[in-house]
Structure 1
Amino acid sequence: MRRRQREVREGFWISYADLTTGLLLIFIVLVAAMIAHYRNKQEAILTAVDGLVLVR
C-alpha cells in the first residue's frame, strides 16, 4: 500500500529489479526469435539444396 501511495505522489516509479526483469525477458524473446529465424532459414536452404540434388 505504501508503495502505491509513493507512486501516486512521485509519479511513475519502477524498481531496478522490475526493470532488470523486463529487460531480461525482452532479451530472451529476441534470442528465441533469432534462433527460430535461423532454423527456418537453414531448413529452407537444405530444402533448396535437396531439390538441386534430385534434379541432377
Structure 2
Amino acid sequence: MTVYRLEQVADYLCTIELALVKYEAKENGETYNKFFGGIGPFKRNWLKQARNKRI
C-alpha cells in the first residue's frame, strides 16, 4: 500500500510540473484552464502547494 501511495504522489507532482511547462509554452488546452484556472491562479494555488511539499 505504501508503494501505491508513493506512486500517486509522484504522479501528482509530475502532473503539476507538466502543467507548468505547458502553461509557459502556451500549449495548455481548455482542460487545463477548466481544472487549474489561468496561469496566475495555477501558480498561486497548485504550484505553490506542490512545491512546498517537495523534499
Which of the two has greater helix per residue? 1
| Higher CA-based Rg | 1
TM-score by length of 1: 0.45
State the structure with bigger RCO (CA 8 A, min sep 6), 1 or 2. Answer: 2
